[in-house]
Amino acid sequence: MKINIKKYGLIAFVLFAIFITSSISGSNNVFASTPQQLYDQVWKLINSKYVDHTNNQQDWKRWRNKYDNVIKTDEDSYVAIQTMLASLNDPYTKFLDPKEFEDETSSIKGSLKGIGVQIGLREGKLLIIAPIEDTPGEKAGLLAEDEILEIDGKSTKGITIDKAADQIRGEEGTYVTLLIKRKNQENKLYKIKRAEIEIKSVSTKVPEKAQLDDCVGYIRLSSFISKNATTEFENALNSYKNKKGFIIDLRSNPGGLLSNAILISDMFLDGGIIVSTVDRDGYKETTRATRKYVTDKPIVILINKGSASASEIFSGAMKDNKRALLVGENTFGKGLVQEVNKLMGGSGANITIQKYLTPNGTDINKKGIAPDVTVELTEENVKAKDDVQLKKANELLVQMIKNQSVCAK
């Protein structure tokens, strides 16, 4: 059985793990009936769909019967599958036991439990990709690019994303202690209380101490994951009928539903390509705007190193179509597409099946998207609540508006 979220798919959020851009195809999964058949099912999925047809330069057949007569229990199959998938050296292709799969799918419903951060692996380092707005992680002061050295006193060296997620999450009201390494600072311990996290997609609340011109509308899009994100975003646009331009804040937005990224892009584009995907056989599928755009008013998009996945799809579509000006810092660089498969007994497997390209055909994986105007936000700026990126976005947007009309005060 597949989880079908239109043809565009979804971004799967594993609690405390990275958002993964996911594309769901319409083929049928056959439910396995034994632990051995569960292993076989995952092997077949990789063999037929994994984006790298060399399977990380290895003979995939060697795994086919490797654990025959060894797998006896569900736990045996879980360990065998995880070992097999680890050989791909792809942090986004992974097996989820029933609890992990439940955590992943619960995010689509709009709530999850934990401290509210997304983590990922880069060059063997466990990094915070982004804290979710108004969560214990953000309130504690965790930032994008923070490296987690220890979880409750245990080293994260050689840890997987799944194991890190298991160690970080826990019962609501309990605490987790993270040892954080931050550039140019001494390592610091953060003791954070776990809570139930409500996923908020859209906010029009202007950040504290920020001063925007009256003609500017501000929309903070913290994630694309909620099924209601597109409706919330359109409602925010409609509430700004009297504004002459928009600042769309995607900073530390780790991604969400790919369909949301496409639909929100479509609100601003009068034709043109939004995104393309390429599979293991080189087949390229292109999604274009429908010309049913909501507004043609000027846009500035704020991005940073925590802007990933669906955020990069939206930013890339706006930049390559010359529809918006990007301000801030280079984005994260997540340009791979996963398929989410529901397996026997409620377990699941996320499998990288495609890469995506921006409208200009750019592969941004591990590279990210560069802003049109680079503005760094230092920790001193954050402490002083001096949002120099937002200031610059306001300045540039007002100039864009004045080039079209008079910015009414």
111-198: in CATH 3.40.50.2300: no
Is a pLDDT exceeding 70 seen at residue 25?
no
Say which residue, 30 or 247, is predicted with more confidence: 247
Residue ranges, CATH 2.30.42.10, the chain = 111-198
Residues 121-134, mean pLDDT to the nearest whole number: 87
Helix (H) or strand (E) holding 131: strand 125-131
The whole-angstrom separation of Cα 94 and Cα 86 is 8
Residues 303-310, mean pLDDT to the nearest whole number: 94
The whole-angstrom separation of Cα 298 and Cα 292 is 17
Average pLDDT score over the chain: 87
Residue 29: pLDDT band (50, 70, 90) is very low
For residue 109, the model assigns a pLDDT of 59
Please state, for a pLDDT cut of 70, what percent of the chain lies above it: 89
> 396 with 300: CB under 8 angstroms?
yes
Helix (H) or strand (E) holding 169: none
Q: 146, 162, 320, 387: which one is catalytic?
A: 320
Residue 126: pLDDT band (50, 70, 90) is very high
Is residue 334 annotated as a catalytic residue, yes or no?
Answer: yes
Is a pLDDT exceeding 90 seen at residue 6?
no
Lookup: tokens for 341? 């498969």
Q: 252, 309, 311, 315: which one is catalytic?
A: 309
Of 32-36, 66-70, 116-120, 384-388, the least confident: 32-36
> 221 with 403: CB under 8 angstroms?
no
For residue 258, the model assigns a pLDDT of 82
Is residue 40 annotated as a catalytic residue, yes or no?
Answer: no
Q: 334, 347, 355, 387: which one is catalytic?
A: 334
Residues 377-402, mean pLDDT to the nearest whole number: 93
Residues 75-94, mean pLDDT to the nearest whole number: 96
Residues 182-208, mean pLDDT to the nearest whole number: 90
> 236 with 220: CB under 8 angstroms?
no
Residue 231: pLDDT band (50, 70, 90) is very high
Is a pLDDT exceeding 90 seen at residue 371?
yes
Is a pLDDT exceeding 80 seen at residue 24?
no
Residue 107: pLDDT band (50, 70, 90) is low
Residue 108: pLDDT band (50, 70, 90) is low
Is residue 107 annotated as a catalytic residue, yes or no?
Answer: no
Is a pLDDT exceeding 80 seen at residue 127?
yes
**How far apart are the two ends of the chain, measured CA to CA in Å?**
56
pLDDT digits (tens, 9 = 90+) for 267-298: 999 999 999 999 999 999 999 999 778 999 99
For residue 2, the model assigns a pLDDT of 33
Residue 106: pLDDT band (50, 70, 90) is low
For residue 110, the model assigns a pLDDT of 56
For residue 220, the model assigns a pLDDT of 96
Residue 171: pLDDT band (50, 70, 90) is confident
Say which residue, 385 or 407, is predicted with more confidence: 385
3-state secondary structure of 60: helix
202-334+360-402: in CATH 3.90.226.10: yes
Residue with tokens 């025959």: 68
The whole-angstrom separation of Cα 384 and Cα 378 is 10
Residue ranges, CATH 3.90.226.10, the chain = 202-334+360-402
